[in-house]
Amino acid sequence: QKTSFHRSQTLDFKNGYAFSRLPREGVGGDALFANQLSQDELDDLCTKGSTLTYGQVRRSAPSSFTPAFVAYDKKVLKFDAYFQEEVAISPDEHYRIRQVGIYYYLEDDSMCVFEPKVKNSGLVQGKLMRRHRVPKNEHGDYYHWKDLNLGIDLTMYGRTYRLVNCDSFTKVFLESQGIEVNPPEEMVSDPYTEQRRTPVQKPTVPAGPDPFRQFLAYDTKVLRFYAIWDDTNCAFGDHHPCIIHYFLADDTVEVREVHRRNDGRDPFPVLMRRQRLPKIFADKNKNFPSCVLEITDHEVQEWYSPKDFAVGKSVTLLGRTFLIYDCDKFTQDFYREKYGITDFQPVDVNKKPTEKAPQVIPPYNGFGIPEDSLQNCLSLFPKPPRKDIIKMLENNLKVLRYQVALESPVPEDKNRRFILSYFLSDDTIGIYEPPVRNSGIPGGRYLKRTKVTKPGSTPENPIYYEPSDFTIGSTIEVFGHRFVITDADEYVLNYLERNAESFPAATVQSIRDHLHPQQVVVETASSGIPKKDLDDLIVEVQKELKLHHEPFNTRKFHEAFHHFDTEGSGFLDKTRFLNVCDRFHVPTSTILLKKLIDYCSCGEDKVNYREFLLAFPS
């Protein structure tokens, strides 16, 4: 009365691998008693025969089951075959043989057909039939590996394949299954492909002149000539260096222009393209416009040939005349062997340097300095004249100051005093007039900083004043005004003595003789009090000036002393000195002022106001 006869599953996959296992239930779901023995013990019991049995004989364990897709995994039978395909649209071939490979997969009895790809064959090659079970007949049967053998015709989907060979695995497998493998056959080749592979027989050339003999003999051989195209007769013309190439293979000529950097021409190297150039034209109808047609052999009587080119010869190519002045070594060897020419002396075509016209400098017009005005004559865009940077760096902030008096017939100019400053960095002179109160003259800058030429110098060769020209009592003419040097700064004497080798001895002695008596008087006046006491006294006076509520005008105080010192000696009468101090009401104690005046006194009637003014800086 049992109705269920199901068997439990024993085939499974784990981690991508197929394996078999023992059934968990019996047929129809009956319970199975677990074995207490191991698998190895069970295998031993299955193989060991019973010697003596009492009771019922035990049955041996069934053998392990392995499915086909596990046993034949990745095992493929491979046959070499071909099939014949009809060609109806080509006159060169009526059929073609196509070689293929037939693969039979043992795991699922599927098949596929693959044709190796041939480059530029024009055929659809590769996988001709996808992998699947191929039907064998109309009754639903499929091809099996038992149906395959060598030397048989296999028809699949209306196409018949001839199996001619197989690999070693296929042969061993079929023989192991009891199939007798037929001997292999030779693979049939495609007749059209074999015909294409055979070398084409060249036709026999009859004896006679070969039209390609010149090309084969002179291919890649070119005559090179160096020439000059003189185009100076045209507007903006020039001498154009060119290279003429004569191709011996086809008697064509090419002209290339040699460009140099910054030559001002467009970078088109080819002046004449490669072509045959006519030398003499045949008689033709002058009424017919020849420009509309290309030049043919019927219109030309003679073409240019190698004998028309030679070193030192002029040739006219398409209306342009070229002078050949040299050639390369290959060209010389060609002419020496073929024409026997041995004279290849190059022609000198270098331009002779033209004599440079002397530049005439126009006379100086009086505006600015001559060096600056000269730049307008040297270039279209004038640049400032170059400066001596080394001299400017060495003599930076070095100024020689002189006191000068103006020579003028005007009575009001007799008492005017000026400060002449000579700047050693660029040899310029500046004149400044200290303002004097109630003089009617505003003072200030009299001459801005500029170079001053000596009288008698020409604009073409100007001679400027130098420190050696400034001596005590000398006259300096500045743009029509005459100044007499009356005094100099102590720095002038120190600078001249340090650089005595660069200046005349008379200039140094003149400044020394003028300043030496003043230095003796100053040393005599200050010899009674030490220098340290004078500094302390000046510090005390300046402290009292700072404590004073109303500011003291030291600038006007200085100008008053300079005004009364008409000679510029630095000394004033004691009476006039005291009057100036009383007029300005010097805000210091009487004791300190008296000590300072006693220190600056030189004798009984002179006072050195310059040392006195050290206590009142402007």
Q: For position 366, what pLDDT does the model report?
A: 73
With respect to residue 581, please indicate whether it lies within any of the assigned structural domains.
Answer: yes
- Of 524, 542, 560, the residue at which a domain comes to its end is 524
Q: For position 113, what pLDDT does the model report?
A: 96
Domain identity same for 535 and 519: no
- List the CATH number of the domain containing 401: 2.30.29.170
Q: For position 95, what pLDDT does the model report?
A: 92
Domain identity same for 509 and 550: no
Q: For position 224, what pLDDT does the model report?
A: 96
Contact status, residue 249 vs residue 274, Cβ threshold 8 Å? no
Helical H segments across 357-448, by residue range: 370-378, 389-394
Q: For position 49, what pLDDT does the model report?
A: 63
Q: How far apart are CA 195 and CA 426, in angstroms?
A: 99
Domain identity same for 231 and 180: no
Q: How far apart are CA 613 and CA 596, in angstroms?
A: 10
- Of 489, 524, 559, the residue at which a domain comes to its end is 524
pTM of the model: 0.35
Give SS3 for 570. coil
Burial class (CB in 10 A: 0-12, 13-18, 19+), 409: exposed
Domain identity same for 217 and 335: yes
Give SS3 for 279. strand
Domain identity same for 451 and 467: yes
Looking from the CA of 300 toward its CB, the CA atoms found within 13 Å total 11
Q: How far apart are CA 266 and CA 285, in angstroms?
A: 38
Domain identity same for 135 and 242: no
Residue 82's DSSP bridge partners are: 99, 162
With respect to residue 119, please indicate whether it lies within any of the assigned structural domains.
Answer: yes
User: How many helices and strands, by DSSP H and E, does the chain display?
Assistant: 15, 25
Give SS3 for 482. strand
Domain identity same for 10 and 87: no
Q: CB 81: neighbour CB atoms within 10 A?
A: 22
With respect to residue 586, please indicate whether it lies within any of the assigned structural domains.
Answer: yes
With respect to residue 392, please indicate whether it lies within any of the assigned structural domains.
Answer: no
With respect to residue 50, please indicate whether it lies within any of the assigned structural domains.
Answer: no
Q: CB 106: neighbour CB atoms within 10 A?
A: 17
Q: For position 526, what pLDDT does the model report?
A: 44
Give pLDDT < 50 ranges for the chain. Answer: 208-209, 518-529
Six-digit token string for 84: 């014949």
Q: For position 569, what pLDDT does the model report?
A: 72
Q: Each residue of 219-249: b (16+ CB within 10 Å) or e?
A: eeebbebbbbbbeeeeeeeeebbbbbebbbe
Q: For position 562, what pLDDT does the model report?
A: 80
Residue 19's DSSP bridge partners are: 12
Q: For position 151, what pLDDT does the model report?
A: 93
Looking from the CA of 618 toward its CB, the CA atoms found within 13 Å total 10
Domain identity same for 454 and 414: yes
Distance of CA 191 to the CA centre of its chain: 62
Domain identity same for 442 and 480: yes
> Which domain does 225 fall in, by range?
211-339
With respect to residue 41, please indicate whether it lies within any of the assigned structural domains.
Answer: no
Write the pLDDT tens digit of every residue in 219-238. 999 999 999 999 988 888 88
Q: How far apart are CA 292 and CA 286, in angstroms?
A: 13
Domain count, the chain: 5
With respect to residue 7, please indicate whether it lies within any of the assigned structural domains.
Answer: yes
Q: How far apart are CA 407 and CA 294, in angstroms?
A: 95
Domain identity same for 101 and 176: yes
Write the pLDDT tens digit of every residue in 16-63. 888 888 787 878 877 776 655 667 777 777 776 656 556 666 677 777
Domain identity same for 76 and 10: no
Q: Kindly report the CA angle at 225 between 222 and 231, in degrees rounded to 5? A: 135
Q: For position 313, what pLDDT does the model report?
A: 93
With respect to residue 40, please indicate whether it lies within any of the assigned structural domains.
Answer: no
- Of 339, 357, 388, the residue at which a domain comes to its end is 339
Q: For position 467, what pLDDT does the model report?
A: 92
Domain identity same for 471 and 432: yes
